[in-house]
């Protein structure tokens, strides 16, 4: 799980382009099994149906999980990763306004 690190950068840091790499971006509600996760595979991992099924099973165990293109992972992170926090802040502000 690495926000801000795309698959190419992860492969470079590992020193190998031929490793099976999966990038996953879960959000905080996964802690209570109600999260949203996305995942992307590099070409090597995408060729292995067992890897795909293992990742799908693992990520689905903590909420909704979807495979997405690596090119949109950062956008998904910004929306689904931070989205719940913004909603909670909005609800808190409404409650504070109601109290005042």
Mean pLDDT of 19-47: 87
Closest residue by Cα to residue 73 from 14, 7, 16, 11? 7
95 domain residue, yes or no: yes
Residue 67 lies in domain: 7-99
Closest residue by Cα to residue 75 from 21, 8, 22, 3? 3
Convert the pLDDT of each residue in 54-89 to its tens digit.
Answer: 999 999 999 889 898 888 877 777 776 677 777 888
73 domain residue, yes or no: yes
Fill in the DSSP letter of residue 19.
S
65 domain residue, yes or no: yes
Q: Which tokens belong to 18? A: 């031929």
18 domain residue, yes or no: yes
Residue 94: pLDDT band (50, 70, 90) is very high
The pLDDT score that the predictor gives to residue 45 is 92
| Residue 87: CATH number of its domain | 3.40.50.720
């Amino acid at each position: 799980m690495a926000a801000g690190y795309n698959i190419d950068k992860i492969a470079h840091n590992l020193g190998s382009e031929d490793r099976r790499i999966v990038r996953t971006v879960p959000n905080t509600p996964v802690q209570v099994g109600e999260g949203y996760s996305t995942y992307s595979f590099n070409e090597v991992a995408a060729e292995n149906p067992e890897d795909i099924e293992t990742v799908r099973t693992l990520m689905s165990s903590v909420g909704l999980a979807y495979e997405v293109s690596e090119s949109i992972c950062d956008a998904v992170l910004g929306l689904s990763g931070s989205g719940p926090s913004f909603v909670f802040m909005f609800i808190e502000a409404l409650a504070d306004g109601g109290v005042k």
